[in-house]
Amino acid sequence: MSSHVVSEYAELLDALTVVRSRDLLRCRSKAEVLVAGVKVATQTPPIRSGRRVVFLTLDDSTGPVDATFFEDAQGPYASTVFSTWLLLVRGEVRRTGPRGVSLRATGAWSLPELHALWRDHPTAEEGLAAVRARLTQPVVTEQGPSTAGCWCTAAASGCRRTPTSSPPASTRCRPVPCGTAARGVPDERDDLRPSVGGMSVSERRSAARSSVVWGALESVLDGAEGRQVLDIGGGTGGFAVRVAALGHRVTVVDPSPDALAALARRAEEGGVDVAGLQGELSSLESLVEPDSVDVVLCHGVLEVVPDPEQALAALARVLRPGGTLSVVVAQRHAAVLARAMAGHFQQALELLDGDASRGDGARPRHRFTADEISDLVAGAGFTVGPLHAIRVFADLVPGSLVDLEPGAGGALVELEKAVADRPEYLPLAAQVHLLATR
């Protein structure tokens, strides 16, 4: 194993000053910190009080972190804890002795979702601001906004896990690096209006994308069980597990061994079989036989490969004649518009007539117009089928407008689906989905 799956998120975690398990003992009491890791296990053992308690164990490559969720915290966060393999948890530090440290957790979020939100913005700074805004958004249940918490103990410290329900402190501390004194300040969340729309910005984007893509793939995947499906860069299996649940044989090729390990756990939890192969498009010939695949999913990959033309040629070799290619790429016109609206006019100019990287030293970030991706796919020997506009409005509508109107989130998704097939909206779409046959 060359790297831990959490390492893929290191840049975002560092920007958020996330504390590793090995460093928790250096944190001052009352400091509010963030921890992150892969979910190793969840347990709900019998408790003498009769209350339901959930014990969660995370691993962040430097050691395990055990989190205890009591009933008052399960309402807001149980769904995230049980359905997500990679988690970000926020909590307030409590020192319990020379080698004892615990966190009173006040939130849990899907790390891949936060990472996608961060990457979706024109610059790393804007993405970070969006993620921080997401973390400060109160979680609303039927009982109202939750301020409940739980105690999290760093297992690496060697101290015993002792569940408690002590009341939270009257003031909270902003996240600070370990080893610095925490300054008590009023919780910024007290000034925020609870969301009643039920969807975060990243959730709306994900829903807009998945509803359009799955609608387009329905005719390909439904009613034809046993197809051989290849998911390139499928990571932890967000699409792969769902496809496998339809009765298809799915293989995920991804360069990260830890992502594939998370995929295996997700597939096991979903009761399906998904094969995971470590590799990249450049080594696809050695992993997949030629003319052996019925459907290839290539979502969000062509943007980051060195040569998109060579990547498509490799995909054409493994597809059977008549096989289907599903491609999702970032759309350049929308990227220009987003940068201009954010005041980044020079970046917008650089994107007008061609590719531009993120500008932060990261890997290349190709973007395509609808015509460019169509010509690129056709040049690789495919017959181009329908194109779909993805996220036409989801990135532009202010979240506050959606949050204030009950049912607005669902209505926004329906609007996205309604315009997905209209070519006049393609230049406004953040992403373009294309179906093609070999």
Dump the DSSP string for 301-328.
Answer: -TTTSS-HHHHHHHHHHHEEEEEEEEEE
44-58, 289-303, 364-378 — which is least confidently predicted? 44-58
Contact, 59 vs 38, CB < 8 A? yes
The percentage of residues in the chain with a pLDDT greater than 90, rounded to a whole number, is: 25
Tell me the mean pLDDT in the region 93-114.
76
The CATH number given to whatever domain includes residue 18 is 2.40.50.140
Residues 245 and 326 in one domain: yes
Tokens standing for 17?
């000053």
Residue 130 domain-assigned (yes or no): yes
**Per-residue pLDDT averaged across 310-327, rounded?**
95
Looking at per-residue pLDDT, the higher value among 347 and 272 belongs to 272
Phi–psi pair at 417, nearest 5 degrees: -65, -35
How many helices and strands, by DSSP H and E, does the chain display? Answer: 13, 17
Instruction: Check whether residue 119 and residue 16 sit in a common domain.
Output: yes
By CB atoms closer than 10 A (0-12, 13-18, 19+), residue 188 is: exposed
Final residue in a domain of this structure, among 156, 191, 226 = 191
Token readout for 223 is 């009613």
Task: Convert the pLDDT of each residue in 8-60 to its tens digit.
Answer: 888 899 889 898 888 888 888 777 889 999 988 777 776 555 667 777 778 88
> Which structural domain range is residue 127 located in?
5-174+183-191
Q: Which CATH number characterizes residue 403's domain?
A: 3.40.50.150
Q: Is the pLDDT of residue 328 over 90?
A: yes
Are both 142 and 230 inside the same structural domain? no
What is the secondary structure of 70-99 as a DSSP string?
A: -HHHHHHHHHHHHH-SEEEEEEEEEEEETT
- The mean pLDDT of 189-199, rounded to a whole number, is 32
Q: Is 50 exposed, middle or buried (0-12, 13-18, 19+ CB in 10 A)?
A: exposed
Q: 85 lies in a domain?
A: yes
Indicate if 210 and 93 belong to the same structural domain: no
Closest CA to 154 of 92, 103, 87, 108: 103
Query: Does 385 map to a domain?
Result: yes
Please indicate, yes or no, if residue 402 is contained in any of the structural domains.
Answer: yes
Let me know if residue 358 belongs to a domain. Answer: no
Residues 63 and 123 in one domain: yes
* Pair (110, 250) in one structural domain: no
Q: How many structural domains comprise the chain?
A: 2
Identify the CA nearest to 416 among candidates 125, 105, 205.
205
Q: pLDDT higher for 404 or 7?
A: 7
If asked whether residues 272 and 237 sit together in one domain, one would say yes
Short-list 20, 23, 412, 390, CA closest to 217: 390
* pLDDT given at position 318: 95
Query: Does one domain contain both 87 and 50?
Result: yes
Shared-domain flag, residues 18 and 52? yes
Residue 180: which pLDDT band, with cuts at 50, 70 and 90?
A: very low
Angle at 344 between CA 390 and CA 341, to 5 degrees: 50
Output the pTM of the full model: 0.58
Q: Which two tokens stand for residue 49?
A: 């009080």
If asked whether residues 421 and 390 sit together in one domain, one would say yes
Give yes or no for a contact between 204 and 415, defined as CB atoms under 8 angstroms apart. Answer: no
- Residues 165 and 220 both lie in one domain: no
Residue 181: per-residue pLDDT: 30
